[in-house]
A and B are shown apart, each in its own frame.
Chain A
Amino acid sequence: MDVMPKWAEVILVPLISLLLAAILSALVILAIGEDPVAAVKLMVSGALGSTYGWGYTLYYATNFMFTGLAVAVAFHAGLFNIGGEGQAMLGGLGVALVCLFIPWPHWTIAVLAAIIGSALFGALWAAIPAYLQAKRGSHIVITTIMFNFIAAAVLNYMLVNILRPAGSMDPATARFPEAVHLPSLHDLLAPFGIAFSKAAPANVSLVVAMIACVLVWLLIWRTPLGLEIRSYGKSQRAARYAGIGAVQITMIAMLISGALAGMMAINNVMGEAERLVLNAVEGAGFIGIAVALMGRSHPVGVFLAAILFGFLYQGGAELALWTSIPRELIVVIQALVILFTGALDNMVRMPLERIFLALRRTSKSKSTPAE
């Protein structure tokens, strides 16, 4: 029997966790001698006060939707994919190869090819840890972390030794051709008469990310494969009795997860930078963990949590610009969210359950008076 009603489970628990994280973050800001109220005001006006701010918020949110979905799919299979960072790096490599070496006539075809390229490279990078977990039992958490480091080395090698244009000192690829330029939200919204900032980097990838949210929802809750993934995640032993292959599900879930993380690259590499640079991912792979935990691994939750973290990220950039609070504040908030929504979940849940039990008991004693 569920102690708590569903709305409390889905809304109240994450909200309280978020509140706790926010209070602690405010204390951190106080401790370094800044004003938390002013900081929040600055974050809100910087991230949501203009279409320029919204453009950045949604741009970051697009990244986090992809990486959040990636972590969420793996979570459903009971796997913890911390390798989103490396998978997104490799996804960037896939996008760069697709955009640089094939002359695309129009961005619509190019973006489809880029999605395939990035997903393929991301999935490839997840495949090896997945295989090692499934076949050799090596811990996927540690292997995916190691693959983040290895991905950084691979990217470094590719950019410095192979993809760097002759004569350039910068470890980055050449600029992508004009034809693969993705339309920004400004271009997309102008026909509808909505004025949106031209300078902001949010682009058509946001739509792709939202489609990905819907597809992941369909996959997890409306397909036999999704059922197998979820049952494997709930109980490996029961899944084995039901004839679900452990190796197969581990591989499939991780391939999908890696592909989603890789697809982030159409936003940050193809949509924004329009070339591949060394630190293109900027920690988005790790934020995906917080987003997935906060969103309870549900695509709707991931979507909302991604926008929240997009706001935090853009707001944090504004803080770093105007105050002495460095950007690392976001890492702290992210850590606190992971801590409260993931690890200290029971700390929030137990008192709530007790309250709901007490409420139920009093309402019962009222409805059935003493006989």
Chain B
Amino acid sequence: MNFFALFDLSVLDTTVRLATPLLLACLAGLFSERGGIFDIGLEGKMLAAAFFSAALAAITGSVWIGLLAGIGASLVLSAVHGLASITFRGNQLISGVAINFLAAGLTVLIAQSWFQQGGRTPSLIGGGRFEPITLPFADALSTVPVFGPIYAELISGHSILVYVALLCVPGTWYILFCTRFGLRLRAVGENPAAVDTAGVSVVGLRFAAVGICGILCGLAGAYLATGLQAGFVKDMTAGRGFIALAALIFAKWRPWHALWATLLFGYLQAIALRPDIIEGALGFKVQVQLLDALPYILTVVILAGFVGKAIPPRAGGEPYVKER
């Protein structure tokens, strides 16, 4: 039995890759929910972004155009969510569900119409993908004991969106807790009437929150299709949007905690891909189906509050009606 094999460098490396879309989606949800808008449509926005980024990257051969298209698609769905839940004060949960189905259906429909490959995009090659970036001195340092391999394998060699996602964590923290916009955003999620009284537009702030959420979901989806994998396949988000929401609750709506929570979920997904390592480490075979279900089971366990009480933003999920 070798317990440390569970933390093999290759597993940790995969953890970082798999945690990235979760982290971006989690931060997206963080902005939205801090602004008082529940968003279970993260999944759909990621899926739409994944498709449009892969499709445009395949057509134009440029991953950057793909990225922009992905963000654009995600923003359109964000606008729908904003329209339904802010302007028309509809049920935010139902709107999110509708967006998820809309994305699931439309992506396959358009993929079939554009590429005739059974609801997928062609495999991306060359400039159509985000290539791994080798950080400076990675090769030179790789012979240094302990630190060398960690730097060369774990820290270096990811695509640019991984680093962008990591930078988004302090960025989110700074915006939320050190700027006026962040203060107002948090206030609008807790007590929109107070924000309104202060003469700040509740609707404007909430649309801004939903918009930032759309951009981050766009990055997450684009990373899925052009960084993590080479192209779009049907339903490729596989519940990541919902796992991100669970991570958000686990993190209690705080950016740094979101990083740790998504790394945990990323690790579970990474280890589920390596039954050989688990068997070697634990000394017995674990059912594949159990491994597949593990991130979802952990989500339920976390939601059950066995890790402490999580209090959501107080005005979350409720449309704001100005009293007359």
**What residues of chain A have their CB less than 8 Å away from a CB belonging to chain B?**
28, 31-33, 80, 82, 128-129, 132, 136-139, 141-143, 145-147, 149-150, 153-154, 156-157, 160-161, 286, 289, 293, 324-326, 328-336, 338-339, 342-347, 350
- B106 interfacial by beta-carbon distance below 8 Å: yes
21 A/B residue pairs, CB under 8 Å, sorted by A: A32-B109, A132-B303, A142-B299, A143-B303, A150-B300, A157-B290, A293-B94, A324-B112, A326-B112, A328-B104, A328-B105, A328-B109, A331-B104, A336-B98, A338-B94, A343-B88, A343-B98, A344-B84, A344-B88, A346-B89, A347-B84
Asked if A142 and B245 make an inter-chain contact with CB atoms under 8 angstroms apart, the answer reads yes
Residues of B within 8 A of A142 (CB): 40, 242, 245-246, 249, 299, 303
7 closest cross-chain pairs (CB), A and B: A331-B105, A343-B95, A335-B101, A342-B94, A153-B293, A332-B105, A138-B303
Asked if B102 and A332 make an inter-chain contact with CB atoms under 8 angstroms apart, the answer reads yes
Residues of A within 8 A of B104 (CB): 328, 331, 335
Asked if B119 and A328 make an inter-chain contact with CB atoms under 8 angstroms apart, the answer reads yes
- B97 interfacial by beta-carbon distance below 8 Å: yes
Asked if B109 and A329 make an inter-chain contact with CB atoms under 8 angstroms apart, the answer reads yes
Binary contact track B212-226/A, C-beta < 8 Å → 1, others 0: 000000000000000
Q: Which of B84, B119, B303 contacts A343 (CB 8 A)?
A: B84
Which residue on B lies nearest to A137, using beta carbons? B305
Which residue on B lies nearest to A151, using beta carbons? B293
Asked if B296 and A149 make an inter-chain contact with CB atoms under 8 angstroms apart, the answer reads yes
User: With A145-B242, A330-B105, A335-B102 as given contacts, are A346 and B299 in contact (CB-CB < 8 Å)?
Assistant: no
Asked if B91 and A32 make an inter-chain contact with CB atoms under 8 angstroms apart, the answer reads no
Asked if B289 and A334 make an inter-chain contact with CB atoms under 8 angstroms apart, the answer reads no
Complex: how many Å from CA A149 to CA B84? 28
Residues of B within 8 A of A28 (CB): 106, 109
Distance in Å: Cβ of A147 to nearest Cβ of chain B: 7
Distance in Å: Cβ of A73 to nearest Cβ of chain B: 16
State which residues 55-94 of B face A: CB under 8 Å: 80, 83-85, 88-94
Residues of B within 8 A of A334 (CB): 101, 105
Complex: how many Å from CA A339 to CA B106? 14
Q: Which of A156, A286, A350 contacts B289 (CB 8 A)?
A: A156
User: With A33-B113, A286-B101, A342-B98 as given contacts, are A136 and B296 in contact (CB-CB < 8 Å)?
Assistant: no
Residues of B within 8 A of A347 (CB): 83-84, 88, 90
Asked if A136 and B94 make an inter-chain contact with CB atoms under 8 angstroms apart, the answer reads no
Which residue on A lies nearest to B95, using beta carbons? A343
Binary contact track B37-64/A, C-beta < 8 Å → 1, others 0: 0001000000000000000000000000
Asked if B303 and A335 make an inter-chain contact with CB atoms under 8 angstroms apart, the answer reads no
Number of interface residues of B (CB under 8 A): 46
Distance in Å: Cβ of A89 to nearest Cβ of chain B: 13
Residues of B within 8 A of A156 (CB): 289, 292
- B197 interfacial by beta-carbon distance below 8 Å: no
Q: Which of A137, A324, A330, A332 contacts B106 (CB 8 A)?
A: A332
State which residues 80-138 of B face A: CB under 8 Å: 80, 83-85, 88-95, 97-102, 104-106, 108-110, 112-113, 116, 119
Asked if B296 and A346 make an inter-chain contact with CB atoms under 8 angstroms apart, the answer reads no
Complex: how many Å from CA A305 to CA B246? 33
Asked if A346 and B88 make an inter-chain contact with CB atoms under 8 angstroms apart, the answer reads yes
Asked if A145 and B101 make an inter-chain contact with CB atoms under 8 angstroms apart, the answer reads no
User: With A28-B109, A32-B109, A142-B40 as given contacts, are A339 and B293 in contact (CB-CB < 8 Å)?
Assistant: no
Binary contact track B243-254/A, C-beta < 8 Å → 1, others 0: 001100100000
Q: Which of A128, A136, A338 contacts B305 (CB 8 A)?
A: A136
Which residue on A lies nearest to B239, using beta carbons? A149
Complex: how many Å from CA A142 to CA B97? 11
Which residue on A lies nearest to B113, using beta carbons? A32
Task: Given contact pairs A329-B105, A343-B88, enumerate 14 new A-B contacts (beta carbons under 8 Å).
Answer: A141-B40, A141-B93, A142-B299, A146-B246, A146-B299, A150-B293, A153-B293, A293-B94, A331-B104, A331-B105, A336-B102, A343-B91, A344-B84, A346-B88
